């Protein structure tokens, strides 16, 4: 395929990626509101589920919140039973933040419909198509991580 014949499919793919990002953001916002949390609280939970354990400082960097706003966010999540604060064994004055044992199950229930819909959608593709889809998303994830690092190191 020459570059000229690739132009339209590339445009369509980039528009689809854009629309995916916009619709995912809108869905996350709606889910946050439905769960009685704000968007930053949900992003914090997402990071905690990915990392397992982190510090308030790292959450502050991730969310862009001040230390005071991060503390308020953690207070809300702790009150909702979604996180636990633990002593940091490497820093007597420090605290580690982890998802509460029941939080994964609770959050999973919020997204059950979306998980079913995702499974139905992915089940409609062949194994080779799924390999391509996985490759595209993995590459885009790396691309956005690389671009974030560029922005952070060259403000």
- pLDDT-derived band of residue 46, with 50, 70 and 90 as boundaries? confident
- Going from the N-terminus, what domains does the chain have, and what CATH number goes with each? 3-124 (1.10.10.10)
- pLDDT-derived band of residue 3, with 50, 70 and 90 as boundaries? low
Q: What is the CA radius of gyration of the chain?
A: 19
Q: Which residue has the higher pLDDT, 130 or 103?
A: 130
Beta strands in 26-137 (DSSP E): 83-88, 91-99
Q: SS3 helix, strand, coil % of the chain, rounded to 5?
A: 75, 10, 15
Distance from C-alpha of 65 to C-alpha of 68, rounded to nearest angstrom: 8
- pLDDT-derived band of residue 2, with 50, 70 and 90 as boundaries? low
pLDDT in tens, 11-36: 999 999 999 999 998 998 898 888 88
φ, ψ of residue 95 to 5 degrees: the values are -130, 145
- pLDDT-derived band of residue 4, with 50, 70 and 90 as boundaries? low
φ, ψ of residue 85 to 5 degrees: the values are -100, 135
Length of the chain: 155
Which residues have C-beta within 8 Å of that of residue 129, sequence separation ≥ 6? none
Whether 109 shows a pLDDT value over 90: the answer reads no
Q: What is the mean pLDDT of residues 68-85?
A: 92
pTM, two decimals, is 0.70
């Amino acid at each position: 395929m020459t570059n000229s014949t690739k132009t339209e499919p590339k445009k369509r793919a980039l528009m689809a990626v854009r629309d995916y990002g916009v619709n995912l953001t809108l869905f996350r916002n709606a889910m946050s509101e439905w769960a009685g949390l704000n968007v930053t609280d949900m992003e914090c939970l997402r990071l905690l589920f990915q990392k397992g354990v982190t510090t308030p400082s790292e959450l502050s960097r991730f969310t862009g919140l001040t230390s005071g706003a991060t503390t308020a966010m953690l207070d809300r999540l702790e009150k909702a039973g979604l996180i636990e604060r633990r002593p940091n064994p490497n820093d007597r004055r420090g605290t580690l933040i982890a998802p509460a044992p029941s939080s994964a199950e609770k959050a999973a229930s919020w997204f059950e419909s979306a998980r079913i819909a995702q499974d139905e959608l992915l089940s409609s593709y062949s194994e080779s198509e799924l390999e391509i889809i996985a490759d595209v998303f993995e590459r885009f994830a790396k691309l956005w991580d690389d671009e974030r690092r560029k922005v952070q190191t060259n403000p």
